[in-house]
Structure 1
Amino acid sequence: MLKQQLNFKLSQKLSPQQIQLMKLIQLPTQAFEQRLKQEMEENPALDSGKDSVDEYEDSYSESNADDDYGNETIETDINVDEYLSDDEIPNYRLSSNNYSADDEEKNVPYASGTTFNQYLLTQLNTYRLTDEETQIAEFLVGSIDESGYIRRALPDILDDLAFTQNIYTSEEKIEEILHIVQQLDPAGVGARGLQECLILQLERKELTIPIKLAIDILKKSFDHFSKKHYDKLIAKFDVSEEQLKEAIEEIEHLNPKPGGSYSGNNRMVEHVVPDFTIKIVDGELELTLNGRNAPELHVSREYNNMLQGYKDSKEKSKSQKDAVMFIKQKLDSAKWFIDAVKQRQQTLFVTMSAIMHYQKEFFLSGDERNLKPMILKDIADEIGMDVSTVSRVANSKYVDTPYGTKLIKQYFSESMTNDQGEEVSTREIKKILEITLSEEDKRKPLTDEKLAQILKEKGYPIARRTVAKYREQLDIPVARLRKKI
């Protein structure tokens, strides 16, 4: 049996304006400028610049309310003032404490140059090679990754040459051309592994006694060297500890990633533009928002002239009415965007201000041990916004401080309780762990068990596995690999 009934249901749904605001908040300064440029290209009603618009019509209303277009009444009531900036708050009041457009560098540098592979191909022109050898050499150069290595086996390269280049050769011939490629700069390029890369670099140097020993160690006992079994190396090569130390120092000065040393490579370079600046003025913290986040936006004067022309015309044609509807849509879009930009400015400033005051001790001293435990919810509760909004600010924005430019997310950390029952930041523990490791005896590095015991004595009772986790997050190897002679 079918029944009809009414159900009332409350649901939350984001409006297009809210979605637009969330997307804008997430954008860092440079991406925001690109988004602003795109919006101005797409919406001719939106204009920018320091030249303020003197006067707009207060309002416009259609005199003939009964005028029908098709079966619908044309809605042309537009209050242009709604699309303008609020003149009750002068610009100087907004700029003095929050952001200043005059203090920021407007130009963004761009990286350019030849790629690493192009640099290697240019060097190939100095060698006398046959056409086939040149093709093989160019294929090998094309197989070199950004670190400077060829990660593929010679049989695979042999097959690819046959299938893609129609070149039928042998592994011996490819090996012969590979040795030519390995003579290119920087030293070590074209190696098939770390061992070969280090040997290639040593062979370019003057063959002194330490370098000869270093080459022998890498060729005959690379496994013992990588595991730092120094006693076995001393016994095998019948050398003193001092001689072994000199050889190892030669190896440690080599570059494990020769491709990274090419200064003219064309990899994507991220130019970080700080979204905020924190300064210490007379012992107090001062926060400013990058002026590039505060563009001056207003409605285009031309659109006001169009509306005035429509108002003054005695006969309203169909095309004029279509134009007025188009203008209204563009004005609404411009108004939404201007409001969203203003809300973005306010949200960014309020959020960062709360973070700055929460971590006041750190920003005044620069000592990471003064970082208080802080999670997204702490800031969200303080400013009365959602956790997701704070996350959007923290994950994509940078702040310029007297101690360097950092991603805001780095100032957030979990907490743990010390032996006195106080909540301390995990960043504080990592800093102490880092200092302890920097002061250890490298001949007898501290194990994770010993580090856990030391931290416990300092008042931080944490488990060995937690120490291991923090050590890995600091990108510090295990004790065996930290050992030096």
Structure 2
Amino acid sequence: MLKQFLNLKLSQKLSPQQIQLMKLIQLPTQAFEQRLKEEMNENPALEAGKEEDEEYEKDEFDNEEEYDDFEDNESIETDINIDEYLSNDETPDYKLQANNYSDEEQRESPLASPVSFHQDLINQLNTFILNDEEREIAEFLVGSIDDMGYIRRSIPDIVDDMAFTQGIYTDEKTVERILHIIHELEPSGVGARDLQECLMLQLKHKTPTESVELATDIIENQFDAFTKKHYDKLQQKYGISNDSLKKGIHEIEKLNPKPGGSFAGSSKLTEHVVPDFAIRIVEGELELTLNGRNAPTLHVSKDYQEMLQTYKDSRDKSAQQKDAVMFIKQKLDSAKWFIDAIKQRQETLFVTMNAIMHYQEEYFLDGDETKLRPMILKDIADLVGLDISTISRVANSKFVETPYGTKLIKEFFSEAMKNDQGEDVSTLEIKKILQNIIEDEDKHKPLPDDQLADMLKDKGYPIARRTIAKYREQLDIPVARMRRKM
């Protein structure tokens, strides 16, 4: 049964301008520059550089009475040719500026075209004598290799996949035979189905020595004991000295568990972090600066202002000109808003980072991570009078250059814990002390979590063993047994 009724409710919604501003705040420097270029390409009323005359004021042309004349349906010709304004041949200054701010003529540079990992493997297949069916199988196997150099699928699955997707009908023995050819390709170990096979393939390519033979036997027959670092059992199993076992283990440690990783990494472009802020110590005081690339000089196009002013002064207006003038006004308003949004973005970034800098002043003065104070988003939000979500957008995507390296801002935030004196200390401080203890431990007898907890307790940090395990995992530090070395 259908019913009609009235429902009154209050709701809050973000305006499109507020949403765009939040997106601008979240952008790091490089992404912001790209967004700026896009806006300037889309809005011809927005230009780079300083304006000589007075800036366009939005309120000056906001009087709706200016458009009352368009109520008439008559089309009156005037001396204004809107098409001439909209097809202005002048090139904006920003299009004439070189990106590197150099006066020299820009020259085209050839771009590197590195060979991909999989294409390199295909090229190596050309050195083998294969018939058409074998080559199709070999190329399918190469296509199944992931970026780390492994084939993470079973032979039966590969046979079925080739039949259903490629129309290649073969058997497991043929695929297994072709897979042995793949195993001959470089880098050594490529095409393995698991870590054990990967290490075995690499050892088979080594010159046979006593240590290599021992390493091969360990991987082939005692792989589980090796991965769990049960060196005493291995020494007892083979009846060898500690030095002999150490040499065999050393041969294994020289192998590459990710044969495709090194190749993939070499073909990728190096990404450079552009710091959004810089903190320097000047005469014992901290000095904060915002990257100048976040503060471009923009102004509203003078030509577009003159177009609107010309329309305002004209007496006779046509309906066609109304559409053109509305377009001009829209672009002017959009340009004015974008300039204001950039200024607000600059202010938000600066006041937020300035509050963080003074909150962590003790750390920034000497770089000792143990002096980082407990700090959560709400602490900074309360200081600067902004919402927590705004602080989060600044912290999660911005970098700051300090005398101690370039840091991600969110790394300065941490929860608080009580020490034995009841004082709040940062979890970052505790993690740093824990990391230092583990780095200085005897690797022949690494410290288990309960002993680490006792040592931190002696230093004034009463922490449970399970908390030690959690911090150790966050620091990507393995358990004591896996840290043991020969």
- Fold match by TM threshold 0.5: yes
Q: Residue in 1 aligned with 2:78?
A: none
Q: Residue in 1 aligned with 2:377?
A: 376
Tell me, yes or no, if structure 1 residue 27 matches structure 2 residue 17: no
Residues 265-284 of structure 1, C-alpha deviation per residue, up to 9 Å, x if partnerless? 55586542211112222322
Return the alpha-carbon distance in structure 2 between the equivalents of residues 274 and 463 of structure 1. 38
Tell me, yes or no, if structure 1 residue 402 matches structure 2 residue 434: no
Residues 227-255 of structure 1, C-alpha deviation per residue, up to 9 Å, x if partnerless? 11111111222211110011111111221
Q: What is the DSSP-based 3-state SS (H/G/I as helix, E as strand, rest coil) of the residue aligned with 1:444?
A: coil
2:142–2:182: 8 Å Cα contact kept in structure 1? yes
120-129 or 341-350, which deviates more: 120-129
Q: Residue in 1 aligned with 2:71?
A: 69
2:400–2:409: 8 Å Cα contact kept in structure 1? yes
Return the alpha-carbon distance in structure 2 between the equivalents of residues 180 and 260 of structure 1. 21
Q: Closer, same or farther in 2 for the Cα pair 1:132/1:3, shift >3 Å?
A: closer
1:111–1:266: 8 Å Cα contact kept in structure 2? no
Return the alpha-carbon distance in structure 2 between the equivalents of residues 128 and 225 of structure 1. 39
Q: Residue in 1 aligned with 2:51?
A: 52
Q: Residue in 2 aligned with 1:38?
A: 38
Return the alpha-carbon distance in structure 1 between the equivalents of residues 4 and 31 of structure 2. 54
Amino acid at match of 2:143: G
1:116–1:264: 8 Å Cα contact kept in structure 2? no
Q: Residue in 2 aligned with 1:82?
A: none
Q: Residue in 2 aligned with 1:466?
A: 467
Q: Closer, same or farther in 2 for the Cα pair 1:212/1:66, shift >3 Å?
A: closer
1:430-469 alignment, distance < 5 Å: 430-469=431-470
1:148–1:191: 8 Å Cα contact kept in structure 2? yes
Q: What is the DSSP-based 3-state SS (H/G/I as helix, E as strand, rest coil) of the residue aligned with 1:239?
A: coil
Amino acid at match of 2:279: I
Q: What is the DSSP-based 3-state SS (H/G/I as helix, E as strand, rest coil) of the residue aligned with 1:351?
A: helix
Q: Closer, same or farther in 2 for the Cα pair 1:16/1:212, shift >3 Å?
A: same
2:55–2:299: 8 Å Cα contact kept in structure 1? no
Q: Closer, same or farther in 2 for the Cα pair 1:65/1:207, shift >3 Å?
A: closer
Residues 303-350 of structure 1, C-alpha deviation per residue, up to 9 Å, x if partnerless? 123224324544211111221212222222222211111100110011
Amino acid at match of 1:43: N
The unaligned stretches of length 5 or more in structure 2 are 74-99, 103-108
Q: Closer, same or farther in 2 for the Cα pair 1:181/1:56, shift >3 Å?
A: same
Return the alpha-carbon distance in structure 1 between the equivalents of residues 67 and 269 of structure 2. 59
367-376 or 296-305, which deviates more: 296-305
Amino acid at match of 2:200: I
Amino acid at match of 1:24: L
1:30-429 alignment, distance < 5 Å: 30-48=30-48, 50-55=49-54, 59=60, 67-69=69-71, 113-262=114-263, 270-429=271-430
Question: CA offset at residue 146 of structure 1?
Answer: 0.9
Q: Residue in 2 aligned with 1:17?
A: 17
2:55–2:300: 8 Å Cα contact kept in structure 1? no
Return the alpha-carbon distance in structure 2 between the equivalents of residues 111 and 425 of structure 1. 46
Q: What is the DSSP-based 3-state SS (H/G/I as helix, E as strand, rest coil) of the residue aligned with 1:67?
A: helix
Q: What is the DSSP-based 3-state SS (H/G/I as helix, E as strand, rest coil) of the residue aligned with 2:178?
A: helix
Return the alpha-carbon distance in structure 2 between the equivalents of residues 239 and 282 of structure 1. 63
Question: CA offset at residue 11 of structure 1?
Answer: 4.6
The unaligned stretches of length 5 or more in structure 1 are 72-100, 104-108
Q: What is the DSSP-based 3-state SS (H/G/I as helix, E as strand, rest coil) of the residue aligned with 2:286?
A: strand
2:70–2:319: 8 Å Cα contact kept in structure 1? no
Q: Closer, same or farther in 2 for the Cα pair 1:176/1:366, shift >3 Å?
A: same
Q: Closer, same or farther in 2 for the Cα pair 1:140/1:454, shift >3 Å?
A: same
Residues 371-395 of structure 1, C-alpha deviation per residue, up to 9 Å, x if partnerless? 1111111111111111111001001
Q: Closer, same or farther in 2 for the Cα pair 1:252/1:202, shift >3 Å?
A: same
1:137–1:177: 8 Å Cα contact kept in structure 2? yes
1:116–1:265: 8 Å Cα contact kept in structure 2? no
1:102–1:291: 8 Å Cα contact kept in structure 2? no
Amino acid at match of 1:253: K
Amino acid at match of 1:338: I
1:442–1:484: 8 Å Cα contact kept in structure 2? yes
275-284 or 421-430, which deviates more: 275-284
Q: Closer, same or farther in 2 for the Cα pair 1:453/1:64, shift >3 Å?
A: closer
Return the alpha-carbon distance in structure 2 between the equivalents of residues 377 and 415 of structure 1. 13
Return the alpha-carbon distance in structure 1 between the equivalents of residues 40 and 379 of structure 2. 37
Q: Closer, same or farther in 2 for the Cα pair 1:63/1:477, shift >3 Å?
A: closer
Q: What is the DSSP-based 3-state SS (H/G/I as helix, E as strand, rest coil) of the residue aligned with 1:174?
A: helix
Q: What is the DSSP-based 3-state SS (H/G/I as helix, E as strand, rest coil) of the residue aligned with 2:460?
A: coil
Return the alpha-carbon distance in structure 2 between the equivalents of residues 36 and 189 of structure 1. 45
112-121 or 251-260, which deviates more: 112-121
Q: Residue in 1 aligned with 2:90?
A: none
Q: Number of residues paired by the alignment?
A: 448
Question: CA offset at residue 52 of structure 1?
Answer: 2.8
449-458 or 179-188, which deviates more: 179-188
Q: Closer, same or farther in 2 for the Cα pair 1:4/1:217, shift >3 Å?
A: closer
Residues 137-171 of structure 1, C-alpha deviation per residue, up to 9 Å, x if partnerless? 11111111111111000111111111222222221
Q: Closer, same or farther in 2 for the Cα pair 1:63/1:463, shift >3 Å?
A: closer
Question: CA offset at residue 56 of structure 1?
Answer: 5.8
Question: CA offset at residue 102 of structure 1?
Answer: 8.3
Question: CA offset at residue 447 of structure 1?
Answer: 0.9
Question: CA offset at residue 301 of structure 1?
Answer: 2.5
Return the alpha-carbon distance in structure 1 between the equivalents of residues 113 and 357 of structure 2. 37
Return the alpha-carbon distance in structure 1 between the equivalents of residues 22 and 151 of structure 2. 44
Amino acid at match of 2:356: I
Return the alpha-carbon distance in structure 1 between the equivalents of residues 66 and 437 of structure 2. 82
2:70–2:318: 8 Å Cα contact kept in structure 1? no
1:114–1:265: 8 Å Cα contact kept in structure 2? no
Residues 178-201 of structure 1, C-alpha deviation per residue, up to 9 Å, x if partnerless? 122122221211111111111112
2:149–2:189: 8 Å Cα contact kept in structure 1? yes
Return the alpha-carbon distance in structure 1 between the equivalents of residues 353 and 113 of structure 2. 34
2:275–2:406: 8 Å Cα contact kept in structure 1? yes
Q: Closer, same or farther in 2 for the Cα pair 1:264/1:474, shift >3 Å?
A: closer
Amino acid at match of 1:17: Q
Q: What is the DSSP-based 3-state SS (H/G/I as helix, E as strand, rest coil) of the residue aligned with 1:262?
A: helix
Return the alpha-carbon distance in structure 1 between the equivalents of residues 320 and 112 of structure 2. 49
Amino acid at match of 1:192: R
